A = this chain, B = another copy of it.
């Protein structure tokens, strides 16, 4: 983790704000007003400082967001008691990550990171990889399996969060509804038959079902 330069003999001016203070203020803004409102200017105002002062504690806005995700993970990602059966352990660990992230939809902007490599998430990754190995996968396949689970989990959150955002923004009929309006039952019989029930069906939360299917498939196939 990047640290501000070490305060050796403390020459020069004493700091008025700290990195923690910056991240804390950012957390408040996001919690109360949403990510969209988190701007360097707004953040500076919240702290009672200037936009430029922030750049002494944070490289740029992207780093601020990563820091914020870290902060959030450390705060909300509590380790659950895990079942002994390895396959179930994988499911529970993944579901715990999912639950924490799903509760904070703003994460989407940042989440699209490499992996979820927040330090506090590592324990969960360890559990998933270890559980998959205990199910008989090679370490290589276990890592790939973890990736697949992460893709599925991140995708669920991103798609769901964006759908929710759109619904909130403009209450007009969504693009999907318009497309679904006139389906040719000759060409697309299944979709035409399901058109009425599509919205409620896709509104259901089936994250866990899909996760179980994926883990089953990984364990059996692998």
Range class of the A interface residue count:
35 or more
> In the assembled complex, which residues on chain B have CB atoms less than 8 Å from the CB atom of A153?
155
Contact residues, A91-132 vs B (CB, 8 A): 108, 112-115, 117-119, 122-123, 125-126, 129-130
Q: What would 9 A/B residue contacts be, using CB atoms closer than 8 Å?
A: A113-B163, A113-B175, A126-B187, A126-B191, A148-B214, A151-B155, A158-B158, A213-B218, A217-B220
A176 at the interface (CB under 8 A from B): yes
A166 to chain B, nearest CB (A): 7
Per-residue B-contact encoding for A148-168, CB less than 8 Å = 1, 0 else: 101111111011011100100
Choose among B117, B162, B166, B215 the residue that contacts A179 (Cβ–Cβ < 8 A): B117
Pairwise interchain contact B112-A162, C-beta atoms closer than 8 A: yes
Among A14-22, A49-57, A202-210, the stretch in contact with B: A202-210
A6 at the interface (CB under 8 A from B): no
A66 at the interface (CB under 8 A from B): yes
Complex alpha-carbon distance, A130 and B215, angstroms:
23
Pairwise interchain contact B220-A148, C-beta atoms closer than 8 A: no
Complex alpha-carbon distance, A202 and B183, angstroms:
40
Choose among B112, B122, B163 the residue that contacts A108 (Cβ–Cβ < 8 A): B112
A144 at the interface (CB under 8 A from B): yes
Among A29-37, A39-47, A193-201, the stretch in contact with B: A193-201
> In the assembled complex, which residues on chain B have CB atoms less than 8 Å from the CB atom of A117?
175-176, 179-180
Pairwise interchain contact B162-A129, C-beta atoms closer than 8 A: no
Pairwise interchain contact A174-B114, C-beta atoms closer than 8 A: yes
> In the assembled complex, which residues on chain B have CB atoms less than 8 Å from the CB atom of A151?
152, 155-156, 159, 210
